[in-house]
Structure 1
Amino acid sequence: MADDNAPMPSPTPERAGQNGNSRGASLVKQGSILSLLTLGSRIAGLVREMVKAALLGTSPLSDAFSVAFMIPNLFRRLFAEGSIAVAFIPTFKGYLIEDNKEKTKDFLSSFITLLTFLVTLVVLLGIALTPLLVPIFSLKELNETILLTQIMFPFLALISFAAFLQGILNSHSIFAPSGFAPIVLNVVIILCSYGLSPLLGNPARAMAVGVLIGGTLQCLIQWPAVYRLGYRISFSSMKKAFTNPGTRTVLRLVGPTIVGMAAYQLNDLVSTALAGRAGPGVVSSLQYSLRLQELFLGIFAVSIGTVLLPDLAGYAKKGQWAEYNQRLITAMDIIALITIPVTIFSLQQGEVIIRLLFQANSFNEESVALTKNAFTYHIVGLFFIAINRILAPAFYAQSDSKSPTLAGILSFFVNMILAALLVGPMKGGGVALALTLASMVNTVFLLLFLRRNPQVAVGRAVASALGYTTKLAVFSGLAVLPLVWLSPRLLSIFQGRGRLIGYGMPLLINTLVFGVIGAALLVLSKDKQALYIAKSLKRRF
């Protein structure tokens, strides 16, 4: 890859076509590094949920922890992922291209001062207002939910600082420390769940303390890498923080996003409140289902989106639209290659996956049924959620935060209406289906809005994605057909040999059969993106 700090002429379309393979391989290579770490984080997060399932199941106490952890995470999307992705990285990338160290230092000092002021204010207000907010969820463990929420609210500040450090590293194409940090968070929560439970009265409180300790370590792990880059970040005066040109740019970009983020957070709040009224365990089952979905998203979608944003921002600022378009098309195709097979396989093997991962102790047959109901409808939306993770950075790279905000608001209304209509007859499955359909609507609007920039080849990207998605759906359907006959027979053969063998061996064999057939079909069709990934893995191993 070319140095993003060096000026480069815009390539001709012919050159872009000739270099397409190297760009795709580069994206896969960068994405694969972060994907391995993100996958490790998702696995650790899944183990965390397995521990939670074993200790709390879908009990009222489990619902209490789920809601308490969700509330500070709502604001996290605004101060961490939201502000960093939407505004900080594109702005910081501009300073790197300008290569003025003094201006860059002033911007970083001003930004961290502004971030510290805002998150501290929100954390203090959040802790004070928690007793007024929690009752809307209609949970049985009201007092415990309030306590857990107040314990975990400072996590917002910790994760915001961690995201700031991640933004600096990602802008320099350094992804390993940021990818490793969430693994530490999940491991600490797991250790605290068992180690602190006897001291704190219940596992939920122990996990809440683990969230704070893990969040602190997320910051500390990334700091040495930032220090090695030569950054010595200090605080500035509040006046300087608000008047710095860079922070003004950030505030201008984040401004429209606040509306969209507010809609998104209200979306989560209302959906969770509806789920809370649908019966005990529904909130927790939705969280277990989402954890599985996030595991699959972590295989590539989150990583590709993280790697993509700094690259697209650099191309957009330099006017390298041929590079920009090819990068975006390659990312969308890779997302399809991952999510379509995973979706079809998971629809067939969903119950086996849930029983293998969660069914123990407090996680009973009712818990399995509730989680499977939610997972069936969540997993159908995997492709659209993953594509949205790719399309949003395409706007942020152009310093356009208004378009994805508007798309988010429109999808929010769709989600709210559908969730209210479907939660009654379908319980948790209705809330999950509403999210899937709203994600689909969000994708459509993002593509429509992206067309407004004539430099972006939206038509070519959509045509490529539709054709490739159709091909993958057909291949995945062919690969899953043998499992319809094989899976019940394998479950019968391994029945009564414990959860790990009884469900693990059938799932492993089914995965191998599905994978071999799918890979054979891709090889026979000489699939371009699969070849990129294979070559990248071959070079690494």
Structure 2
Amino acid sequence: MAGTLGSRLSGIVRQQIINRFGDTLLDAFLVAVTVPNLLRELLAEGALVNSFIPVYKTLDEAGRRQLARVFSGLLIAVNLVLLALGVLAAPWIVDLLLAGTSNVDRGLAIYMTRLVMPFLMLISLSAVAMGLLNADEHFRESSFAPVAFNLAAIAALLLLPGTATWLAVGWLVGGTAQLVVQLPALARFGLLPTPALGSHPALRRVLRQMAPFTLTAGARQFLNAYVLSLLTNAQQFPQGTRAGYGNAEALFTMANGLFVVSPALALFPRFSQFAAEGNWPEFRALTVQALRTTTFLAAPMSALLVALAPYAVSLFNLGGDYSVTRFSAGTWILTGWALALVPWAVVTILLRTFYARERTREAVVVSAAGFVLEVLLYRLLVPRLGLLGFGLSTTVSGIVIGGTLALLYRRALGFPGRAVAGHLIRVLPLAALAGLAAWLVSRPLPEPGSIGPGVLGLAVAGSVGLGVYLAGAVALRLPEVRGVLRRLRRSS
């Protein structure tokens, strides 16, 4: 948890440094990093978390070593091919990501796309290292890798000139640090693989698992490309909107990473182990525990971000001279996205239960259909609601995907719907009350915009909201409160 917290907080600092750049440069940079980030979901985090670990957990020690060797070798080969294609096809790729009448400098975006393409190789190898450590439940050693990325990128961005070239180089420096910092732990635990091209029976199982996942990744890539084209439409949104989207994304990712993804990753090896043993009673019990814990944590964060979105986005404005367009766009997008935290907490946990049982096809088909629904909602809501429509579309698709996954889970194992629903009936109104309290307290505070009022609003109003939520949880005797108190005692 400490590593995850450090990663998210240092990520906010990194985003603050990036926000020193003007709208023209920052918008082009965010378009450029979209390309490797889209591919990393398939080749890095997605492949490892959803396909590699369940198969890896079923092997003996010798089988695990051999699988790690051939998997990492194959990943390097694929990355080299994609690196070459990304550099050569950069103009065509950027044109796909921009609207016809774009508010982004096309030439600058193409130049920076070519510079940042090696990031895909760095993050893929880093994900292999993290996956191997997590599979053996060495979470502490891998959790600080993203911190290394952020600290190295921050140092590079502060020391290097503020140009397009050095902004991209700073990103690559961070990716290198994230990989290198994990190598000593891999060597210490005897997990450091020697990449090799070859075959292994388990590799074919991993690739079969990845095949349907490609459908989800492809759908998500289409969704992200479509969102980006909407944001870069100069006829609808001004320059700086894409940068505002990046700020909202950083805050949403921080909350989602701390309170949803981190618990899900920690529990995934246990899900995989119970599935490998066929221990379905413990598997169902772990599902309830995971859903209760993540929604208990995500619900107040959702409500507080809705209530205090302008104060949260103000954290990125280190001075009084900031982009009003960037601030406004970030505020509206974050407000809508915050509503999606709880539905996507449910989706995140349930997807892991399918991947652990190697039921990848069902999960990815549902996810892909959900992403198509999200695109349709964008077309319906964004023209009518503006930037708020992005988050509301994500919220609705999360509810639909989560409900569908729960029905499929129930058909196979008997979904504990009554226990989960009873928990949500108590938690969601309590979170809404906490958000209302925070909003009322924020009314007389200084107007948000720069970092000073932002910190004040979050500290004062946010503390009141959290206090209301925890007091209500104690009054309702929610068992998750004990877990929070235990963590606080350990950290004190």
Cα distance in structure 1, aligned partners of 2:178 and 2:313 = 29
Q: CA deviation at 1:358?
A: 3.0
Give the conservation status (yes or no) of the 8 Å contact 2:183–2:192.
no
Q: CA deviation at 1:507?
A: 2.5
- Letter matched to residue 305 of structure 2: S
Query: Which residue does 1:513 correspond to in 2?
Result: 464
Query: Which residue does 1:296 correspond to in 2?
Result: 255
- Letter matched to residue 46 of structure 1: I
Query: Which residue does 2:35 correspond to in 1?
Result: 71
Query: Which residue does 1:31 correspond to in 2?
Result: none
Query: Which residue does 2:391 correspond to in 1?
Result: 432
1:243-298: CA deviations, max 9, x gaps?
A: x1011111111111112211111111111112211322222222211111111112
Cα distance in structure 2, aligned partners of 1:366 and 1:235 = 47
In structure 2, the CA distance between the partners of 1:424 and 1:475, relative to structure 1 (3 Å rule), is: closer
Query: Which residue does 2:423 correspond to in 1?
Result: 468
| Residue 340, structure 1, aligned to residue 299, structure 2 | yes
Query: Which residue does 2:83 correspond to in 1?
Result: 123
Cα distance in structure 2, aligned partners of 1:77 and 1:415 = 18
**Equivalent residue runs for 1:11-50 within 5 Å:** 35-50=1-16
1:183-236: CA deviations, max 9, x gaps?
A: 1111222222221125xxx2x432311121111111111111111112352233
- Letter matched to residue 293 of structure 2: I
Which secondary structure does the structure 1 equivalent of 2:358 belong to?
coil
In structure 2, the CA distance between the partners of 1:205 and 1:429, relative to structure 1 (3 Å rule), is: farther
**Equivalent residue runs for 1:360-375 within 5 Å:** 360=319, 363-375=322-334
Q: CA deviation at 1:483?
A: 3.6
Aligned residues: 485
In structure 2, the CA distance between the partners of 1:533 and 1:364, relative to structure 1 (3 Å rule), is: same
Query: Which residue does 1:51 correspond to in 2?
Result: 17
Give the conservation status (yes or no) of the 8 Å contact 2:19–2:316.
no
**Equivalent residue runs for 1:337-486 within 5 Å:** 337-358=296-317, 360=319, 363-454=322-413, 457-458=414-415, 460=416, 462-486=417-441
Give the conservation status (yes or no) of the 8 Å contact 1:475–1:518.
yes
Q: CA deviation at 1:320?
A: 1.1
Query: Which residue does 1:264 correspond to in 2?
Result: 220
What stretches of structure 1 move > 4 A for 4+ residues in a row? 498-501
In structure 2, the CA distance between the partners of 1:291 and 1:87, relative to structure 1 (3 Å rule), is: same
Which secondary structure does the structure 1 equivalent of 2:402 belong to?
helix
| Residue 281, structure 1, aligned to residue 240, structure 2 | yes
Query: Aligned residues: percent identity?
Result: 26
Give the conservation status (yes or no) of the 8 Å contact 1:148–1:205.
yes
Which secondary structure does the structure 2 equivalent of 1:451 belong to?
helix
**Counterpart pick for 2:93 among 106, 130, 133:** 133
1:344-403: CA deviations, max 9, x gaps?
A: 122111112222443636633332222111111111111122222211111111011111
**Equivalent residue runs for 1:225-244 within 5 Å:** 225-236=185-196, 238=197, 240-241=198-199, 244=200
Deviates more, 1:507-516 or 1:288-297: 507-516
- Letter matched to residue 444 of structure 1: G
Q: CA deviation at 1:490?
A: 2.9
In structure 2, the CA distance between the partners of 1:488 and 1:533, relative to structure 1 (3 Å rule), is: closer
Query: Which residue does 1:18 correspond to in 2?
Result: none
Query: Which residue does 2:73 correspond to in 1?
Result: 113
- Letter matched to residue 25 of structure 2: L
Cα distance in structure 2, aligned partners of 1:178 and 1:194 = 26
Deviates more, 1:43-52 or 1:313-322: 43-52
**Equivalent residue runs for 1:314-329 within 5 Å:** 314-329=273-288
| Residue 165, structure 1, aligned to residue 132, structure 2 | no
Query: Which residue does 1:252 correspond to in 2?
Result: 208
1 or 2 for the larger relative contact order (CA 8 Å, sep ≥6)? 1
- Letter matched to residue 44 of structure 1: S
Q: CA deviation at 1:524?
A: 2.0
Cα distance in structure 1, aligned partners of 2:186 and 2:337 = 37
Q: CA deviation at 1:157?
A: 1.0
Which secondary structure does the structure 1 equivalent of 2:477 belong to?
coil
Cα distance in structure 2, aligned partners of 1:417 and 1:539 = 46
Give the conservation status (yes or no) of the 8 Å contact 1:188–1:213.
yes
Cα distance in structure 1, aligned partners of 2:37 and 2:77 = 18
- Letter matched to residue 412 of structure 2: N
- Letter matched to residue 53 of structure 1: N
- Letter matched to residue 446 of structure 2: L
Query: Which residue does 2:115 correspond to in 1?
Result: 151
Cα distance in structure 1, aligned partners of 2:206 and 2:153 = 33
In structure 2, the CA distance between the partners of 1:540 and 1:321, relative to structure 1 (3 Å rule), is: farther
In structure 2, the CA distance between the partners of 1:149 and 1:453, relative to structure 1 (3 Å rule), is: same
Deviates more, 1:368-377 or 1:429-438: 429-438
Give the conservation status (yes or no) of the 8 Å contact 1:340–1:473.
yes
Structure with max Cα Rg: 1
Cα distance in structure 1, aligned partners of 2:46 and 2:451 = 39
Q: CA deviation at 1:331?
A: 0.8
Cα distance in structure 2, aligned partners of 1:500 and 1:434 = 29
Cα distance in structure 1, aligned partners of 2:375 and 2:139 = 36
Q: TM-score, normalised by structure 1?
A: 0.85
Cα distance in structure 2, aligned partners of 1:368 and 1:335 = 29
- Letter matched to residue 363 of structure 1: Y
Query: Which residue does 1:220 correspond to in 2?
Result: 180
Cα distance in structure 2, aligned partners of 1:375 and 1:381 = 10
Give the conservation status (yes or no) of the 8 Å contact 1:68–1:146.
yes
Which secondary structure does the structure 2 equivalent of 1:414 belong to?
helix
Cα distance in structure 2, aligned partners of 1:75 and 1:215 = 15
- Letter matched to residue 52 of structure 1: I
Cα distance in structure 2, aligned partners of 1:483 and 1:213 = 39
